A and B are shown apart, each in its own frame.
Chain A
Amino acid sequence: MQSEFNIMNISATGLSAQRFRIELISTNIANSETTRTEKGEPYRRKVPVFQELVRNIQGRRENSGVIVKSVYEDPSDFRIVYDPTHPDADENGYVKLPNVNIIREMVDMINAQRAYEANATAINTTKAMITSALQIGR
Chain B
Amino acid sequence: MANIFNSNFETLKVAMDVQMKRQELHAQNIANAETPGYKRKYVAFEEYLQESKMKLKLTTTNQRHLPTSPEIVTAKEVKMKNTSLTNDQNNVDIDMEVTEMVKDALRYQVLSRLMSANIDRYNTVIRNTR
Interface residues of A (CB under 8 A from B): 2, 4, 6-8, 10-11, 13-14, 17-18, 21, 49-52, 63, 65-66, 111-112, 114-115, 118-119, 121-122, 125-126, 128-129, 132-133, 135-138
Contact = CB atoms under 8 A, between A and B. Distances in A.
B interface majority secondary structure: helix
Contacts of B23: 7, 125-126, 129
A10 B34 contact: no
A58 B19 CA distance: 23
A4 to B, nearest CB: 6
Interface residues of B, number: 33
30 contacts: A2-B24, A7-B27, A10-B24, A11-B27, A11-B31, A14-B31, A18-B34, A21-B34, A52-B35, A63-B25, A63-B27, A63-B28, A65-B27, A65-B31, A114-B94, A115-B33, A118-B30, A118-B97, A119-B27, A119-B31, A121-B101, A122-B26, A128-B105, A129-B19, A129-B20, A132-B109, A132-B112, A133-B16, A135-B112, A137-B115
A7 B16 contact: no
Interface of B: 16-17, 19-21, 23-28, 30-36, 38, 41, 94, 97-98, 101-102, 105, 108-109, 112-113, 115-116, 119
Closest 10 CB pairs of A and B: A14-B31, A50-B35, A10-B27, A63-B28, A132-B109, A65-B31, A66-B31, A125-B105, A132-B112, A7-B24
